[in-house]
Amino acid sequence: MAKSRVQGFCVYCGVNPATEREHVLAKQFFPPEHRYRGNLVKVPACGICNRKKQEAEDSPGIFFQLSDATPASEAVLEKRALRTFKRNERLRRVFQQGLNWHWVSLESGLIVRRLGIQFSQQDLYYINEWYKYLTKGFYYHELGKYLPNDHLIYIIKPIDFIQFCFYRDYILGSDSYRRRSLADSEFKYIMASNNKDGFSIWMFFFRAVEMCAVTASPELPSDFHAVLLRNAWNERNPKSYR
């Protein structure tokens, strides 16, 4: 990737000088056509954070494509999966060993068998980190400023439709509500921010995966942080997507 001179600091660490403009959503998540990659957001980043982000991208870059059967996801799997597995032996082993049939209880109460991936602890960590990179990158893109380093990011996977509606309706009802669609609508997000109280809330929609993120100032009440921590996806440590 060609690197251009940029000013300011890296939006991910907030410490190192930025050396390049980096895609918040990596191009590898989408087919090469311009309609998918033409409006991907770029932000200032340092080489160190860019490499760490690239390391975290392999897991969602492969596994999330399996959750959806769109022509775009099928094209990415066809062109990139083998290349990624050749480069990332650990991920290949996880895929081979973790792909299995599971019994799943649907909202209707019906129990069915679904093919799912048993994630390793390392992949759970990488996916969680990837969403934190997304949050910091889009925070800068939407608000025009860096997320303060002392603000915490909570990644939350809604556990049911009620919790999903709670986060969605809070965002939609906010005066600061914004909606974005990228990569020919393959990736979407909605967000709202409250500068006075020092927090922002996001919902990311990619393939069949819906994830929330909340950024919160350390000055917010400890009870507020405690609720977010209890609901944090990485704290609940789910074993698979199905």
Same domain, 111 and 192: no
Cut 0.95: pTM above it: no
Whether the pLDDT of residue 241 is over 80: the answer is: no
| Number of structural domains in the chain | 2
Same domain, 110 and 165: no
Whether the pLDDT of residue 237 is over 50: the answer is: no
The strands making up 209-216's β-sheet, listed across from edge to edge, are: 152-156, 209-216, 199-206, 187-194, 178-182
> When comparing pLDDT for 4 and 154, which is higher?
154
Same domain, 178 and 226: yes
pLDDT tens-digit map of 160-202: 899 999 999 999 999 999 999 999 999 999 999 998 888 999 9
> When comparing pLDDT for 187 and 66, which is higher?
187
164 within some domain? yes
Mean pLDDT across the stretch 227-237?
A: 76
Q: What's the CA gap between 166 and 158, in Å, rounded?
A: 9
Please give the share of the chain, as a percent, with pLDDT higher than 90.
62
Q: Taking the CA of residue 135 as centre, how many other CA atoms within 13 Å lie in the half-sphere pointing to its CB? A: 28
Range of the structural domain that residue 200 is part of: 144-241
6 within some domain? no
Tokens of 22: 């980096």
Same domain, 77 and 45: yes
pLDDT score recorded for residue 242: 31
Whether the pLDDT of residue 239 is over 70: the answer is: no
pLDDT tens-digit map of 74-129: 899 888 888 888 889 988 888 888 777 777 776 677 888 766 777 788 899 999 99
Which of the four pLDDT bands, split at 50, 70 and 90, describes residue 149?
very high
Query: Which among 123, 156, 178 is the end of a domain?
Result: 123
Identify the CATH number of the domain in which residue 217 sits.
Answer: 3.30.160
Average pLDDT, the chain: 88
95 within some domain? yes
